[in-house]
Structure 1
Amino acid sequence: MSRNVEIKARMPGIQAILHKVKGIADQGPIEIAQDDTFFRCDAGRLKLRQFSADKGELIFYRRANQAGPKESFFVRTATAEPAVLREALSLAYGESGRVIKQRTLFHAGRTRIHLDRVQGLGEFVELEVVLSDGDAIEDGIREAEDIMQKLGIEPAQLIESAYVDLLGMAPAGA
């Protein structure tokens, strides 16, 4: 199982920090449209991420719901038939939510910086510090906190829940 350290923060507008992200990034921007369908899963979270009609990935992950940097464990597998896989998983497990977003991806070393515009929720920054097998979680946490500081992300902006959870809490019409 792969792992990383993640944070997610609500932003009043990602344009405000775009220049800071570009200043620390060594790759990007890459624009990615994502349509995530979540399925009922007692052992963690299971989602199908569709990029296009013939490209997607099934992702299983586990992470704590907490506002600060947190460890996430995940397994991803590619699919060339995301619509068929969505239908099979929906019939087998039932859908629990859907998140549609436009993501701008940057890399800063081993950290993936996502500038997300989430339909029905607004704009967010997500950091994922990719960990290797021998890497200590504390090193990933320090790296996430360092990038948060460089981008001016305040602790009050951090959110603990996944986008799909926030959508479930959003008032109708939000």
Structure 2
Amino acid sequence: MARNIEIKARIESVEVILPLAAVIADEGPIEIFQDDTFFLCSNGRLKLRAFSEHDGQLIFYQRPDSLGPKESFYVISPTGSPDTLRQSLTLAYGESGRVRKHRTLFMVGRTRVHLDKVEGLGDFLELEVVLTENELNETGVAIAHELLERLGISDHQLIEEAYVDLLARLAV
């Protein structure tokens, strides 16, 4: 499985961080609209990410819910039929949540910098430092901390939960 070091933070607004990310980026911005449907899964998370009617990805991942940088293992399978796949997976496993967001993506070296406007939650920054097969987590953690500093993100802004969990808590 592929893996990365991931970190999430609540931000005041995408518009405040966007110019800072643009200055340090090698690529971007790329604007992406994502509709993520999560399914019941006992040994990780399973989500279907739809970009359009004919473009999506089924993503399985394992990641602890903890503050700060954390290791995430993942497998991504492209699909040309996200709507029917969503229907099949909902019938088979049950839907556990849905997250819709507008994502602005930048690449800084090997790090995906996501500036997310999440429907019903607000604005967030997410970093994903892609690791090589045998690379130590500490290398990715150091890169994540450096980027947080360059983007002006403090420790009190960090969140441990996935967007789907934050939305579920609001619904209670």
TM-score range, shorter chain: over 0.9
Partner of 2:128: 128
Code of the residue aligned with 1:83 in structure 2: it is D
> Residue deviations 1:106-165, cap 9 Å, x none?
000000000000000000000000011021100000000000000010000000000000
Distance 2:140 2:17 in 1: 22
Code of the residue aligned with 1:4 in structure 2: it is N
RMSD: 0.8
Code of the residue aligned with 1:155 in structure 2: it is D
Distance 1:26 1:119 in 2: 28
Percent identity for Structure 1 against Structure 2: 58
> Residue deviations 1:50-95, cap 9 Å, x none?
0000000000000010110000000000000001100100000000
Point out where structure 1 has 5 or more consecutive residues left out of the alignment: none
- TM-score normalised over the length of structure 1: 0.97
Runs of 4+ in structure 1 over 6 Å off: none
Distance 1:142 1:51 in 2: 31
Partner of 1:69: 69
**1:36 has 2:36 as partner:** yes
Distance 1:45 1:4 in 2: 15
Equivalent position SS for 2:41: coil
- TM-score normalised over the length of structure 2: 0.98
Distance 2:15 2:135 in 1: 33
Code of the residue aligned with 2:55 in structure 1: it is K
Distance 1:164 1:43 in 2: 16
Q: How many residues align?
A: 172
Partner of 1:146: 146
Distance 1:2 1:88 in 2: 26
Equivalent position SS for 1:76: strand
